Amino acid sequence: MKLDRRIDIKLTPQRLAILECLVGNTSHPSASDIYKSVFEKFPTMSFATVYNTLETLKEKGVVVELSIDPDKKRFDPNTIPHHHLLCLRCKIIKDIFEKFSLVLSESEEYNFDIIGNHVDFYGICPQCKGVESNKHK
């Protein structure tokens, strides 16, 4: 995502701070993460402002809302179609840009015209595996 003034919303200083927090951000932040990040610069900004701005950006196609983390909504400023991998322990999310050729049988397509897919992977990251290995030593 590039910071683009052509986004069809009023760009207040608070919204610009939220957008700047998202530009190039690969951590897939939650609304709470973004709120904490911009709070220093805008201590009077409410959490509702952050959440509502994210909802507006989602509606405009500037961010994608992820449902991979069952504990909280996460937002991805990279709107290029891709997949995700979530560590079930530390909740880090990694992007996967490989294409997967998944074919549904006619009975599973329900007469849909399939235009894409999104695959979520779950596992344990190397850092969390290392912590687990060290516990058993």
pLDDT for position 54: 97
Q: Round to whole Å and give the CA distance between 83 and 20.
A: 23
pLDDT for position 32: 96
> Where do the structural domains in the chain lie, given as residue ranges?
13-75, 80-135
Identify the CATH assignment for 13-75 out of 2.60.40.4070, 1.25.40.80, 3.90.550.10, 1.10.10.10: 1.10.10.10
Q: Round to whole Å and give the CA distance between 124 and 80.
A: 25
Model's pTM, two decimal places?
Answer: 0.84
Quick count: other Cβ atoms within 10 Å of Cβ 96? 13
Residue pair 7/62 in contact by the 8 Å Cβ criterion = yes
Q: Provide block-wise average pLDDT over 10 residues at a time, the chain (137 residues).
A: 68 94 96 96 96 95 93 95 96 95 89 90 95 66
Taking alpha carbons only, the member of 30, 121, 37 closest to residue 74 is: 30
Q: Is the domain defined by 80-135 classed in CATH 3.30.1490.190?
A: yes
- SS3 annotation, 33-95: HHHHHHHCCCCCCCHHHHHHHHHHHHHCCCCEEECCCCCCCEEECCCCCCEEEEECCCCCEEE
Tell how far CA 130 is from the center of its chain: 26
